[in-house]
């Protein structure tokens, strides 16, 4: 089982019947060169990359835009079109007045598998006490959280909110809450590794590619910034493959992962077994 834990479906054709909404997504995400993709194209990309499942992440910045960019109901609609290929996460703008109600609905009625939050875009620190009820709901439903961490190219983002060290208090005070630091917290990848070493409830995904090409960037991060042995020997149960598609190409990133010199048993964990554990099963 090969799972991509970090996919944004903002430009999937089935949820882009409204040209106004599509234009808003292009502008709000600062992604302009790609059009909408029919599901047949998505499935072909998956096949070329060897992927079996995609974790679809919504984007709810309603305090900024007045509406979610990708709503929970749209994620649910995509999952219903391909339940054997898509895993759906919920999204809320956690400081919006309806966030707690929306999250319970997403878990209870829509059956979504976890929560995606973006501290840099939604302008909150992970230890902000105003999020306590959001975290309570995730713990009550046994749902994990994927947090954006590190650099974001989206407009109106501030990296100070998403530096890996900012997640330590949350990880320490809620050991039963599984959290994933997306993008491995780049450029603070050693901070991410520190948190993973110290807290078994902290995971990270590999959705990073900011210079050069996938192989060169992965080689720099996962063999130099972090020695490959750190993952292969110590952190192997907490790293999950993620592409951050559509900003980065799944095919090249999946290929680069296989060239890092990890043991086959480690690759099996990173490709899918850790994601299944993070999700609490498939």
pLDDT (tens digit, 0 to 9) for every residue of the chain, 282 residues total? 999 999 999 999 999 988 898 888 889 788 887 789 899 999 999 999 999 999 999 999 999 999 999 999 999 999 999 999 999 999 999 999 999 999 999 999 999 999 999 999 999 999 999 999 999 999 999 999 999 999 998 999 999 999 999 999 999 999 999 999 999 999 999 999 999 999 999 999 999 999 989 999 999 999 999 999 999 999 999 999 999 999 888 999 999 999 999 999 999 999 999 999 999 999
Beta strands in the chain (DSSP E): 3-7, 53-56, 86-88, 90-91, 115-117, 145-147, 179-181, 202-205, 239-240
Q: Which residue has the tokens 């995400």?
A: 29
Greatest alpha-carbon pair distance for the chain in Å reads 49
Burial of 156 (0-12, 13-18, 19+ CB in 10 A): middle
Q: Which residues contact 190 (CB under 8 A, 6 or more apart)?
A: 225, 226
48: its two tokens:
């070329």
**Spatial separation of the C-alpha atoms in residues 115 and 145, rounded to whole Å:** 5
Task: Tell me if residue 96 falls in helix, strand or coil.
Answer: coil
Burial of 274 (0-12, 13-18, 19+ CB in 10 A): buried
CA distance 280 to 274: 10
Per-residue model confidence (pLDDT) at position 33: 78
Q: What is the pTM of this model?
A: 0.97
pLDDT at position 24: 87
Query: What burial letters (b/e) apply to 96-133, b meaning 16+ CB within 10 Å?
Result: beebbebbebbbeebebbbbbbbbbbbbbbbebeebee
Q: Output the six-digit token pair for 8.
A: 């944004």
């Amino acid at each position: 089982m090969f799972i991509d834990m970090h996919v944004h479906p903002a430009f999937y054709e089935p949820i882009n019947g409204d040209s106004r909404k599509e234009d808003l997504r292009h502008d709000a995400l600062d992604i302009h060169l790609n059009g909408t993709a029919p599901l047949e194209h998505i499935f072909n990309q998956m096949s070329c990359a060897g992927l079996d499942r995609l974790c679809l992440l919504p984007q709810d910045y309603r305090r900024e835009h007045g509406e979610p960019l990708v709503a929970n109901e749209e994620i649910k609609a995509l999952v219903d079109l391909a339940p054997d290929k898509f895993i759906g996460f919920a999204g809320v703008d956690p400081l919006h007045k309806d966030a707690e109600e929306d999250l319970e609905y997403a878990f209870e009625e829509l059956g979504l598998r976890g929560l995606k939050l973006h501290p840099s875009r939604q302008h909150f620190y992970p230890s902000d006490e105003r999020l306590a009820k959001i975290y309570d709901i995730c713990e009550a439903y046994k749902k994990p959280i994927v947090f954006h961490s590190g650099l974001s190219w989206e407009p109106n983002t501030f990296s100070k909110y998403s530096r890996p060290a900012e997640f330590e208090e949350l990880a320490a005070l809620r050991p039963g809450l599984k959290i994933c630091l997306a993008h491995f917290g780049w450029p603070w990848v050693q901070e991410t590794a520190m948190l993973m070493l110290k807290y078994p409830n902290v995971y990270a995904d590999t959705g990073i590619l900011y210079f050069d090409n996938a192989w060169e960037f992965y080689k720099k991060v996962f063999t130099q910034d972090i020695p490959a042995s750190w993952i292969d020997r110590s952190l192997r149960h907490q790293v999950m493959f993620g592409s951050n598609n559509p900003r980065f190409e799944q095919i090249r990133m999946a290929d680069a992962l296989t060239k890092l010199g990890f043991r086959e048993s480690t690759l099996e964990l990173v490709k899918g077994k850790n994601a299944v554990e993070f999700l609490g099963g498939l």
